[in-house]
Chains A and B, each alone.
Chain A
């Protein structure tokens, strides 16, 4: 960096920002494309089972797969309807 830049204070380090954004984005996109292809079917079948017991909508359930260095986590989120306040709203498993 030149002396004039120094006085102008022009050091940007926008590259650090770029790197951080890319790391997050790339990790996310890799996780998306490495999703096992049985996830949609699993989601559909789980929804069918749950609907035998509780009246939930089509999008009441989300199934995600996350991977870090040494384990994979299958996360299942079910949002139950408001009518049954007494029961737990969310189940995680």
Chain B
């Protein structure tokens, strides 16, 4: 049985797809057979971030409609043997996802995979609610900014009430906070909510803090998940987060503002 992880946020553009790509790649690099599914039907992007956009033949909706088999639709990652991508459809809309269809696909994947990472679309419509419905774990991607924090809290409400686990009444979904696009410098001068502020408001287990980093744009330009850029701050932060998820005790980095030279302090603050 695979463990199903949803990457969710409510608010758009906070880094869900970046995180899904990095996290799935990280799990695969650690030796786990991992599938990452794009639930953003109509606006697929995960294929671009994973760098496999030219290899898409069939998609998630084709598999749900039984127009293609799972094996035909899954794209094996070129860099990492254990990693498979199930792209979203570009031409249909989110209504083509059905609960039964999603359940069947997840069940079939579950027979051979260790982890299934679900990249949720923004919002609280069908795609987003189905991405989280079958989840065992939820990574709530949040930016240190008022509307993102508020939306994250709303998603927590939905996770706790409208999911398979909630309805079954057993063990609830495990929720983790991933704070992304963080700038320690700006938090330090009181211009941005700090890690502690967000933690205090959401009171979630902190999986990691991903700094706001140019490495992310570089990675998406190249179609290579940022976690593969091992020298970059964001890449290392994602690797830490994956290891924490797997139970390792890894101290948090990229939270404190760097010490700057006197000259740069003088001119840039």
Residues of A within 8 A of B (CB): 1-5, 10-16, 18-19, 21-23, 25-26, 29-30, 33
Contacts and interface: CB of A to CB of B under 8 A. Distances in A.
B197 interface: yes
Given A21-B146, A23-B201, A15 B269 contact: no
Given A22-B150, A29-B154, A3 B266 contact: yes
24 contacts: A1-B188, A2-B265, A2-B266, A2-B267, A3-B265, A3-B266, A4-B269, A10-B269, A11-B190, A12-B190, A14-B191, A15-B191, A15-B193, A16-B190, A18-B197, A19-B193, A19-B197, A22-B149, A22-B150, A25-B150, A26-B149, A26-B153, A29-B154, A33-B161
Contacts of A26: 149-150, 153, 201-202
A18 B149 CA distance: 10
Would you list the 4 A-B pairs with minimal beta carbon distance, nearest first? Answer: A2-B269, A13-B190, A5-B269, A19-B197
Interface string B136-176: 00000000011001100110010001000000000000000
A14 B190 contact: yes
The dominant DSSP class at the B interface is helix
A4 B149 CA distance: 32
B266 A12 contact: no
A14 B200 CA distance: 17
Contacts of A25: 150
A66 to B, nearest CB: 17
Contacts of B264: 2
A59 B33 CA distance: 58
Nearest to B185: A1
